[in-house]
Amino acid sequence: VTYQDYPGIGSKNPNDVPADVTTIANTRLLDPNVLSRTFTQLQQLKNFYGFPPTLDIDRYDIDGELQDYIVAAREIAPKSLTGNQTDWINRHTVYTHGNGFVAAPANRVNAIARTTQEAAGSSNNSGYPVFDLSEAEKKVIAVDQPRIYFGEVMAEANPDYAIVGGNGQSPREYD
C-alpha cells in the first residue's frame, strides 16, 4: 500500500460550494474505521452482542437515489458471554446468533449527543450517527431474517456450532 498526500488546494470558488447541492448531499461525514465503538455504545442492545472493529459502507437505492450507509451486523460476541451463559446448552442452543442489521446514513449526523445533558439543552457534544430505524423501514431496506450465525466478531472467537430449528418444540434461542 502506498499512501499519497494531496494538498488541500482547490480551484473551486468557495462561494460556489453552497450551490453545489448534489456534492454536498453526498459528502460522507462518518468514517467506518472509527465508528465501531459508537455503534456498540448506541446499538449493542445486550452485553453479548458486538460489532466488528471496522464497519462497512454500502449503497442502497432509496427512492431512485443512491445513498451511502455505514452498515454492520449485530453479531453474537462469544467472548462477552459470562457465567452460566458459557455452559454447553446455552452456548450451542440459546446464545447462537446475533440479531439485526444496523445502518446509519453516511452523510448525516445528529445535532446533539444522547446524554443526560440533552434534556437540559446544555450538551455541546454532537456529530453522532443518525440511527433512524423507522426510516429504514419506510425506505424499504428490508431484512427478512435478522439472525446472524457467523461473522467477523464470531470469527475472532473460537468459531463453534449452533443447534437450532428443532421440530415440534418452541425455539430455545435467545431472540
Burial per residue of 77-102, b for 16 or more beta-carbon CB atoms within 10 angstroms, e otherwise: bbebbeeeeeeeebbebbbbbbbbbb
Q: Give the angle 141-76-109 at the CA atoms, nearest 5°.
A: 45
pLDDT tens, 155-175?
888 777 888 877 766 766 765
Instruction: Indicate the domain borders of the chain.
Output: 14-156
pLDDT confidence tier of residue 2, bands split at 50, 70 and 90: very high
Q: Residue 155's pLDDT is what?
A: 85
pLDDT tens, 85-124?
989 988 888 888 888 888 888 988 876 645 444 444 444 5
More confidently predicted of 65 and 87: 87
pLDDT confidence tier of residue 74, bands split at 50, 70 and 90: very high
Q: Residue 120's pLDDT is what?
A: 46
